[in-house]
């Protein structure tokens, strides 16, 4: 908890948090807006995925903000100033946001290993005859996938860190008030 009170001779300095609360609220909204913009305007540069006839999607490169495909990631950024006025919480609330920001391991398998693919017309483990698309055998899930980090909030905060720091210092200076203490005469 941030509390500032300094006693100076016949008075004390106190911090009025109204200015600080406003700065944190505006800084949080600024970071969220910059993060949304970075996600919406990300150019890709990573792996290309085939989504269907005539449709491809290029993911972001590691270290770059994620590319917006459905709009869910950038529309679920929440800004909540602390009630006591001493900070702000900025969160990406989609379930996969942390996977993108910090990276992830696991899932999937080696779909390039042709020995582990059942062809149409073959039978699967349950004896069913496969039709249409090829299916993966259970042993095809062998290798672990690795998703390298694609941060967005961290990049936005790094870009605005200096300006936010200056505004917080200014708000603290504006919020400092000197209160005189009642002087009691000693007899």
Q: Token digits for 134? A: 């090829």
Residue 27 within a domain: yes
- What does 96-150 look like in DSSP terms, one character per residue? THHHHHH-EE-----TT-GGGEEPTTSB-TTSPBP-SS-EE-GGGTTSPPEE---
Phi-psi region of 29 (alpha: psi -120 to 50; beta: other; left: phi over 0): alpha
Q: What is the predicted pLDDT for the residue at 13?
A: 77
Q: What is the predicted pLDDT for the residue at 14?
A: 82
Q: What is the predicted pLDDT for the residue at 64?
A: 92
Q: Token digits for 94? A: 């989609």
Helix, strand, or coil (residue 19) = helix
Residue 52 within a domain: yes
Task: For 139-165, write each residue's pLDDT tens digit.
Answer: 444 456 788 999 999 999 999 999 999
For 85, counting Cβ atoms within 10 Å of its Cβ (0-12 exposed, 13-18 middle, 19+ buried), the class is: buried
Extract the residue ranges of the chain whose pLDDT is less than 50: 1, 134, 138-142
For the entire predicted model, the pTM comes to 0.69
Write out the residue range of the structural domain in which residue 44 sits: 5-107+144-180
Residue 83 within a domain: yes
Alpha-carbon span 106 to 59, nearest angstrom: 18
Q: What is the predicted pLDDT for the residue at 105?
A: 82
Alpha-carbon span 60 to 171, nearest angstrom: 38
Query: Could you tell me how far CA 26 lies from the centroid of its own chain?
Result: 18
Alpha-carbon span 178 to 11, nearest angstrom: 7
Q: What is the predicted pLDDT for the residue at 186?
A: 55
Residue 118 within a domain: no
Residue 50 within a domain: yes
Residue 136 within a domain: no
Based on the structure, what is the number of domains in the chain? 1
Q: What is the predicted pLDDT for the residue at 112?
A: 53
């Amino acid at each position: 908890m941030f509390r500032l009170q300094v006693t100076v001779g016949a008075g004390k300095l106190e911090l009025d948090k109204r200015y600080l609360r406003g700065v944190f609220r505006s800084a949080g909204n600024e970071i969220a807006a910059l993060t949304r913009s970075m996600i919406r305007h990300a150019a890709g540069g990573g792996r290309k995925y085939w989504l269907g006839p005539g449709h491809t999607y290029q993911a972001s490169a590691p270290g770059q903000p994620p590319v917006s495909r459905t709009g869910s990631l950038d529309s679920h950024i929440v800004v909540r100033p602390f009630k006591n006025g001493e900070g702000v919480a900025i969160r990406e609330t989609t379930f996969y946001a942390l996977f993108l920001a910090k990276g992830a391991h696991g899932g999937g398998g080696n779909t390039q290993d042709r020995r582990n693919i059942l062809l149409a017309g073959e039978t699967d483990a349950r004896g069913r005859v496969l039709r249409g698309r090829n299916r993966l055998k259970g042993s095809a899930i062998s290798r672990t996938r690795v998703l390298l980090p694609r941060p967005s909030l961290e990049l936005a905060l790094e870009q605005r860190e200096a300006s936010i720091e200056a505004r917080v210092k200014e708000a603290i200076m504006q919020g400092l008030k000197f209160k005189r203490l009642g002087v009691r005469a000693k007899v």
